[in-house]
Amino acid sequence: MTVSHEETTSVEHVHGRRIAVTHRPGLPGRVPLVLCSGIGSSRDLFDPLVAALDPGRPVVRFDPPGIGSSPPSRTPYRIPQLAGAVAEIVRTLGYERFDALGISWGGGPAQQLAFSQPDRCRHLVLVATGTGMLMVPARPRTLARMVTPRRHRDPGYARRIAGELYGGAAREDPDAAITALHRASTATPVRGYLLQLAAIAGWTSLPLLPCIRQATLVLAGDDDPLIPLVNSAILGRLLPHAQVHRYPGGHLHLLTHPRELAPLIDSFLGADPDTTERTRR
């Protein structure tokens, strides 16, 4: 079979919103991996990871409303609404089943996808994330840095706070973190960022975790100021079929050192074809 490396980008109209999507087809019959990015970050954030993953694996990534190439919503949205829209987009692309990966803020939509789509979501990967509003929080000074998207819009400011905010390699090499955050060609819009804050406000996966039956890989850095390590233990304890892998690194390790973690993700997800019937748009 021929592996298709050519990515296609479109803006999908779904559930009253327009969402920009990039799709790498990979090998026919393979289950796609849906990537959910962190707050203030577009789908371009995942460029290094996509390059490091098995080239035969289909990949679907998207911009939340108001971020990247997705126009902002006229009204606020919630995490369950976003997850529902993403699930519909995946079906529109021709896939009935999928795997989901979420990093940081994106762990919210990923967990919601697993909970809301139990027959369609096959595996779940959670990276540097927690259970939403009810989790062990970062220090107040660290949380205060997250209130605005300044670090996405001001490279100088981002460089000054990178080590304190992201930990790991960013303490010694803040430029790597800056490169990861500023991969997108446009600055993060304030309105889109606020929409993301509003979406996660009041949302938590804590009561949902025992109901998420999918096999789950939890990846957590041992030097992550934003997501204290204890949150991975909570996920591992409450998710019925979770395995926790702790790596030496910080919040952005998946993006700055993708070739260290991509093999773990590929091994966990496997290479099984999708045996359900598929339709093409």
Give me the numbers of helices (H) and strands (E) for the chain, helices first please.
Answer: 11, 8
Does residue 182 lie in a domain region? no
Does residue 25 lie in a domain region? yes
Catalytic residues: 104
Does residue 174 lie in a domain region? no
Tokens of 49: 């990871």
- DSSP letter string, 52-116: HS-TTS-EEEEPPTTSTTSPPPSS---HHHHHHHHHHHHHHTT-S-EEEEEEGGGHHHHHHHHHH
Does residue 276 lie in a domain region? no
Residue-wise pLDDT for 65-98, tens only, equals 999 999 998 899 999 999 999 999 999 999 999 9
Does residue 279 lie in a domain region? no
Enclosing domain of residue 70: 8-142+189-269
pLDDT band at 280 (very low <50, low <70, confident <90, very high): very low
Say how many domains are in the chain.
Answer: 1
- In one-letter notation, the amino acid at residue 46 is F
| More confident call, 208 vs 277 | 208
Residue-wise pLDDT for 197-253, tens only, equals 999 999 999 999 999 999 999 999 999 999 999 999 999 999 999 999 999 999 999
> Would you mind telling me the total number of residues written for the chain in this entry?
281
Q: What is the pLDDT of residue 187?
A: 75
Global pTM value: 0.94
In this structure, the dihedral spanned by the alpha carbons of residues 244, 248, 251 and 254, taken in order and rounded to 10 degrees, is -80
**SS3 state at 265:** helix
Q: Show the 3-state SS of 221-247.
A: ECCCCCCCCHHHHHHHHHCCCEEEEEE
Does residue 275 lie in a domain region? no
Domain holding 102: CATH number?
A: 3.40.50.1820
Does residue 102 lie in a domain region? yes
108: which residues sit within 8 A by CB, 6+ positions away? 36, 79, 102, 129, 132, 199, 200, 203, 205
Does residue 148 lie in a domain region? no
Residue-wise pLDDT for 147-196, tens only, equals 989 988 888 899 999 999 999 999 999 998 888 877 765 678 999 999 99
